[in-house]
Amino acid sequence: MKASASLMRKRLLTAFIALIAVFAALFGRLFYIQVVDGGFLRAKAAEQWYRDLPLKATRGKILDANGNVLADSKDVFTLYARPNAVKDKPQTAKAISDALQLDYDNVLQQLNTAVGEVTIKRKIDADVALELRRQNIGGLYYTLDTQRNYPYNANMSQILGFTNIDNVGQSGLESYYDKYLTGVDGFAYTSTDMAGREVDGSVTKYLPGIPGCNITLSLDANIQSFAYDAVTAACVEFSAKSAQIIVMDVNTGGILGMAKSPAFDLNDPPRDDLDLLNELSRNTLIVDMYEPGSTFKIFTTAAALEAGVVSDNDSFFCAGSRTVDGQRIRCWRSIGHGSQHLAEGVKNSCNCVFMDLALRLGTSRFYDALGKFGLGQKTGVDFSGESSGMLMKQSNVKTVDLARIGFGQAVAVTPLQLITGVCSVVNGGTLYRPYLVASVDSCDGKNLATRQPIAVRRTVSPSTSAKMRDYLVGVVANGGGSKAGVTGYAIGGKTGTAQKYAGGSIAQGKYISSFIGFAPADNPKYAVLMIVDEPQGYVYYGSLVAAPYAGSVFSKIFDYKNVPQTMLPEREYVIMPDVVGESAENAVQILEKMGLHVEAVGESGNVISQTPVPNERIYANDSVLIRLG
């Protein structure tokens, strides 16, 4: 009996321990489910109990320097359907396809899918969505979305850039500042049954989004319009491949205007042709480089003056060419400029003068100066894809290469590099980092960051800068830049006409015409660089193609900003003589004796045509064109 009782107690103890172990395991599992894994399981349950629809946050605005809206967002809607909640699918498909102009069969196919929810269409205009919603069709749901809107259409397409359908920046400032412009999305939660149908009496809960930051540019919308009108007109007048322009604040590096033609409407980008979209949206003023030609002579002159290798009284002789390292390098004027002082050489844009200056400097000093001007390196502008330009490796530069670099060949720059460096030459000698965005503010108006002008380095002394301003004023007053002149104002500048290359050799008949200028000359505030790529016909000189449009932009800026006139005498007029049939030398003598600046097409023979035509009233210091047979 004792043995039997002992055995019973052991069995009871074993059963009790087993029971305790079972309960411990159950409580442990319950603790794990409720505490350790509770959050995850509650979230999984919520996925079955609720349907969440995204509420897109409003993207931040882009404003100009005066607060004008350049890019904002408008309310649009996204249409969703829950197929299980749609009772009459054919009738619903017809209502949707009629209202949204969608294919009926495709909509019906979406409504017949065995999924909890489908997106029918995004970016529906508010009035269209409201009209469809008034039909009170079961199983359809709408969420508020936003779509980018650009009030100035094509005016700033390469600068602002665009977004994709999800409002993510794809190019331009929309891409570069995307993290600031993008807000935080919200959600709408609705209770549903297992089939995805909304539970009767359920309350939809909303978690609103947080709008993105607003960014304010250095750009002035009015100056931008002047710039855009200029490039658009130049493209049409000269049937050019493209035209582009930069307007910069000389004393801060702030970009006031930047335009290119052809462009595209930012509200309707050609998304179905990606090659065309990529081509039109490239901001070539920043990302592409070109051989600048004579506008580069500003750097050569400034470097030579700063190094003390030239003075006002130095005399140069141009017979139409120089021979360097056994190679004959022509001046743009094949009949030569004869004897001239430095100021005359700058005014005449004589290649021989600038070859001599480069050779006097030598490779080491010249390259040191070009580095100070920021050539061969990125400017640091707040824009993606900037190019650093191209300078030949210094150790590889031969004497003939140095001579060519002196007048703007065998070197490549970006337009932004060029105007940034020239601003330093004329503003007293300070190189500023260019910029497009001046400040960033939160959606409630709190300032988060304000950009201060960044002085990178000193390039030339104030005295060299003052002398350069005088030389360049002479180019506009009495030289090739005369068509950029504005009555009552002193403007300085330099023209450029560069041949283009294809496959390593000169592309016949293809030129880049340019003009870079600054004003007011005594205390520069504005700089303008105008470039026309491949103007058609025989009128391709920068003095005749680019300079007039730069002058037009200056004139509009003066009126807009109420810039007071300087005390300059009224410009005199002359009557264009008839020089057709004259020899090249006689024609040049006749025209220059009248104070006109002569551009010539052809190297020899008699004059076969002229621009302007005989007897036309023109300014006494104007640029004229003769064609030689």
What amino acid positions are annotated as catalytic residues? 294
- Cis peptide upstream of residue 548 (ω within 30 degrees of 0): no
Instruction: Tell me how crowded residue 573 is: count the other CB atoms within 10 A of its CB.
Output: 10
**Residue type at 456 in one-letter notation:** V
Backbone phi, psi, residue 502, to 5°: -140, 125
Report the SS3 class of residue 96: helix
Give CA torsion, residues 295, 297, 300, 302, to 10 deg.
-70
Give yes or no for a contact between 241 and 534, defined as CB atoms under 8 angstroms apart: yes
What is the spatial distance between Cα 91 and Cα 80, in angstroms, rounded to a whole number?
Answer: 16
Give CA separation, 32 vs 17, 37, 589, in Å.
Answer: 22, 6, 102
Give CA separation, 111 vs 90, 116, 117, 124, in Å.
Answer: 9, 10, 9, 19
Three-state secondary structure string covering 3-38: HHHHHHHHHHHHHHHHHHHHHHHHHHHHHHHHHHCH
Backbone phi, psi, residue 53, to 5°: -115, 135
DSSP 416-474: HHHHHHHHHHHTTSEEEPPBSEEEEE-TTS-EEEEPPP-EEEE-S-HHHHHHHHHHHHH
Backbone phi, psi, residue 103, to 5°: -70, 125
Q: What residues contact residue 292 under an 8 Å CB cut-off, 6+ apart?
A: 408, 411, 412, 413, 418, 496, 498, 514
**Residue type at 152 in one-letter notation:** Y
Partners of 531 in the beta sheet?
244, 514
Which residues of 277-421 form beta strands (DSSP E)? 315-318, 321-324, 327-330, 338-341, 390-391, 411-412
Burial of 594 (0-12, 13-18, 19+ CB in 10 A): middle
Query: Do the strands 242-249 and 140-149 form a parallel or antiparallel pair, or are they unpaired?
Result: unpaired
Query: Do the strands 214-217 and 62-63 form a parallel or antiparallel pair, or are they unpaired?
Result: parallel
CA 453, distance to chain mean position in Å, is 19
Give yes or no for a contact between 527 and 516, defined as CB atoms under 8 angstroms apart: yes
**Residue type at 432 in one-letter notation:** Y
What is the spatial distance between Cα 333 and Cα 604, in angstroms, rounded to a whole number?
Answer: 11
Phi-psi region of 518 (alpha: psi -120 to 50; beta: other; left: phi over 0): beta
Nearest-CA neighbor of 374 among 326, 424, 427?
A: 424
Phi-psi region of 571 (alpha: psi -120 to 50; beta: other; left: phi over 0): beta
